[in-house]
């Protein structure tokens, strides 16, 4: 995510190489080996026996969650009824399943957006589902859905959950849920499966301001959206051609084979498609909006970032340019753009590497995606490298540890990106860039931790000293 406008500019400006051919999902290999921990949200030790500098992106876990989502959108685009099935093979014993209810947060719910769980069952079946407040807005069901299991399920044995829910969309501003006449959009609209391998469930409070506070494994997601016939639908994943659903409605299907989450936008959209280095970019907008400049910026961003960090992580990038101002919100293989400029478009595209492919616990370690995305944008656009910016030692704080949104953006985005630039200068650009490629390759499709950055930079003590001063690594 990035906030646009003058205030954002003030905030954001203050070896190994990948040989993965093409785009898409690498062939599956063995799962990541981690030490087990029962503490929700706690860090797991680094993986033993894993190459710290593979020559290509690490491969996704063949045992990753299998998620089937359906969204049925009302004629006025204000109500979405959904279902979610999760098939999950845990790597440690579990006695319950945990989902995050993002739409009930204190930035979305007061605007009229919400998610209501109407049914939740599991196999093996347990007690009735329940909710935890977890920073959700007053009046909502809560921020966490807990589905008990009938018994403790050992590692390696599959668990299945089936959920039904209703999502309400309102005329919002810069927010991941909203509608505007014949247009609607939502990201994290489903109960978000909150598991981290080797760690357990993430129950952290939802973000107190517009920002990310989620943790989810890269999953194989099958997504179907049924919408009014006039609507064009753009989602995460590789989309099929729409099919007739009867009653003047159409059904849109997509597969996102390694996605932590998905976004959906729909309405009276026009689309433009272009290829950049084998990546199919589709840009949609309400009729009459100019898409030419935004497509040029996205194509440039994909090309330049791929040259620096490795092949684009997904086979398709689907972007919707919305008639709102504010910035951008990223999802794996998709972006919601609330306005468009070089900073925002490049930053959100950089998130396809930093969050989309190399994941993180966004509430616990937000700098691992926001500071890196800002750093990547600044490298590509040659702006605001911040080599002289003082480092205050709080870059590694969680999103809700800051007193307000300004302090969060200024520290995690601004000071975090400056720390990475200063670490690069201290180590030497070539050595730092090679070490960063090692970090990306080794942690592809995983949930990275600050220690993984430290491991990648172990041979560059000057760079590590800078990041320790910034409070990014220990």
Residue 281 structure tokens: 């970019």
Quick one: what percent of the chain has pLDDT higher than 90?
86
pLDDT in tens, 244-274: 999 999 999 999 999 999 999 999 999 999 9
The residues, any chain, with a CB within 8 Å of residue 136's CB and separated by 6 or more, are 101, 104, 105, 106, 109, 142, 143, 144, 206
Average pLDDT over residues 324-350: 96
Q: Domains of the chain: which residue ranges?
A: 2-60+358-469, 66-350
Where do we find the tokens 């950055």?
453
Which of 47-61, 150-164, 201-215, 350-364 bottoms out in mean pLDDT, i.e. has the lowest? 47-61
Are 445 and 60 within 8 A, CB to CB?
Answer: yes
pLDDT at 48: 56
Region of 471 (left: φ > 0; alpha: ψ -120 to 50; beta: rest) is: left
Confidence of residue 370 (pLDDT cuts 50, 70, 90): very high
Work out the number of other CB atoms within 10 angstroms of the CB of residue 372. 26
Are 304 and 297 within 8 A, CB to CB?
Answer: no
Where do we find the tokens 């490049």?
346
Confidence of residue 198 (pLDDT cuts 50, 70, 90): very high
pLDDT at 5: 55
CB burial readout 184-207, b (16+ within 10 A) else e: bbbbbbbbbbbbbbbbbbbbbbbb
- To which H or E segment does residue 464 belong? helix 461-469
Confidence of residue 49 (pLDDT cuts 50, 70, 90): low
Region of 424 (left: φ > 0; alpha: ψ -120 to 50; beta: rest) is: alpha
Greater confidence (155 vs 10) lies with 155
Q: Which CATH architecture describes the domain 2-60+358-469?
A: Orthogonal Bundle (1.10)
In Å, how far are 74, 76, 103, 172, 191 from 162, measured between CA atoms?
A: 22, 27, 19, 29, 11
Where do we find the tokens 């030490």?
35
> Average pLDDT, whole number, for the chain?
91
pTM greater than the 0.85 cutoff: yes
Greater confidence (295 vs 18) lies with 295
CB burial readout 376-385, b (16+ within 10 A) else e: bbbbbbeebb
Q: Residue 360's beta-bridge partner residues? A: 448
- To which H or E segment does residue 416 belong? helix 416-427
Are 159 and 94 within 8 A, CB to CB?
Answer: yes
- Does position 396 have pLDDT exceeding 70, yes or no? yes
Confidence of residue 209 (pLDDT cuts 50, 70, 90): very high
Where do we find the tokens 């490629």?
437
In Å, how far are 7, 262, 269, 440 from 229, measured between CA atoms?
A: 40, 22, 12, 42
- Does position 375 have pLDDT exceeding 50, yes or no? yes
Spatial separation of the C-alpha atoms in residues 13 and 378, rounded to whole Å: 8
Are 266 and 232 within 8 A, CB to CB?
Answer: yes
Strands 316-322 and 334-338, sheet pairing: parallel
CATH number, span 66-350: 2.60.40.1730
Average pLDDT over residues 184-196: 98
Greater confidence (397 vs 37) lies with 397
Average pLDDT over residues 17-37: 33
Are 44 and 34 within 8 A, CB to CB?
Answer: yes
pLDDT in tens, 422-458: 999 999 999 999 999 999 999 999 999 999 999 999 9
Q: Residue 213's beta-bridge partner residues? A: none
Strands 327-331 and 334-338, sheet pairing: antiparallel
Where do we find the tokens 């006025």?
76
pLDDT at 387: 67
Residue 56 structure tokens: 């290509």
pLDDT at 388: 76
Quick one: what percent of the chain has pLDDT higher than 70?
90
Average pLDDT over residues 144-167: 98
| DSSP notation for 64-91 | --EEEEEEEE-TTSSEEEEEEEEEE--S
Spatial separation of the C-alpha atoms in residues 149 and 419, rounded to whole Å: 44
Q: Report H helices in 137-216.
A: none
Which of 14-18, 137-141, 312-316 bottoms out in mean pLDDT, i.e. has the lowest? 14-18
- Does position 34 have pLDDT exceeding 50, yes or no? no
Q: Which of 355, 382, 458, 357 is nearest to 18 (CA)?
A: 357
């Amino acid at each position: 995510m990035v906030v646009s406008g003058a205030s954002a500019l003030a905030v954001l400006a203050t070896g190994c190489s990948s040989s993965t051919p093409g785009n898409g999902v690498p062939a599956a290999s063995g799962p990541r080996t981690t030490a087990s921990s029962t503490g929700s949200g706690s860090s797991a030790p680094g993986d033993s026996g894993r190459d710290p500098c593979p020559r290509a992106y690490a491969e996704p876990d063949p045992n990753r969650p299998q998620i089937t989502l359906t969204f049925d959108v009302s004629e006025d685009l204000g109500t979405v009824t959904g279902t979610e099935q999760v098939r999950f093979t845990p790597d440690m014993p579990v006695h319950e399943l945990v989902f995050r209810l993002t739409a009930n947060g204190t930035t979305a719910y007061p605007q009229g957006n919400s998610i209501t769980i109407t049914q939740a069952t599991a196999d093996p079946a347990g007690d009735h589902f329940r909710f935890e407040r977890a920073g959700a807005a007053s009046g909502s069901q809560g921020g966490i859905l807990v589905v008990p299991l009938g018994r403790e399920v050992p590692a390696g044995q599959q668990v299945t959950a089936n959920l039904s829910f209703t999502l309400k969309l309102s005329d919002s501003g810069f927010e991941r849920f909203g509608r505007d006449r014949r247009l609607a959009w939502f990201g994290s609209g489903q109960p978000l499966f909150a598991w981290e391998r080797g760690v357990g469930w993430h129950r952290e409070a939802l973000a107190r301001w517009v920002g990310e506070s989620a943790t989810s494994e890269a999953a194989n997601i099958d997504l179907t959206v049924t919408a009014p016939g006039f609507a064009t639908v753009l989602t995460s994943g590789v989309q099929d051609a729409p099919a007739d659903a009867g009653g003047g409605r159409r059904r849109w299907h997509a597969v996102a084979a390694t996605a932590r989450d998905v976004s959906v936008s729909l309405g009276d959209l026009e689309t433009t498609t272009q290829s950049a280095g084998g990546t199919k970019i589709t840009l949609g907008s309400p009729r009459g909006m100019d898409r030419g400049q935004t497509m040029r910026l996205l194509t440039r961003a994909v090309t330049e970032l791929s040259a620096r960090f490795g092949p684009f992580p997904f086979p398709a990038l689907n972007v919707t340019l919305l008639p709102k101002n504010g910035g951008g919100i990223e999802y794996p293989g998709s972006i919601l753009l609330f306005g468009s400029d070089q900073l925002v478009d490049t930053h959100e595209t950089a998130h396809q590497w930093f969050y989309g492919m190399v994941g993180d616990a966004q509430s616990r370690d937000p700098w691992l995606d926001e500071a890196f995305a800002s750093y990547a944008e600044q490298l590509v656009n040659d702006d605001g490298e911040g080599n002289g910016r003082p480092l205050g030692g709080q870059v590694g704080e969680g999103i809700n540890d800051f007193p307000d949104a300004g302090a969060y953006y200024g520290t995690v985005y601004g000071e975090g990106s400056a720390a990475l630039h200063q670490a690069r200068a201290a180590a030497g650009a070539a050595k730092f860039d090679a070490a960063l490629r090692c970090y990306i390759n080794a942690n592809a499709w995983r949930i990275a931790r600050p220690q993984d950055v430290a491991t990648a930079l172990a041979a560059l003590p000057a760079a590590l000293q800078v990041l320790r001063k910034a409070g990014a690594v220990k």
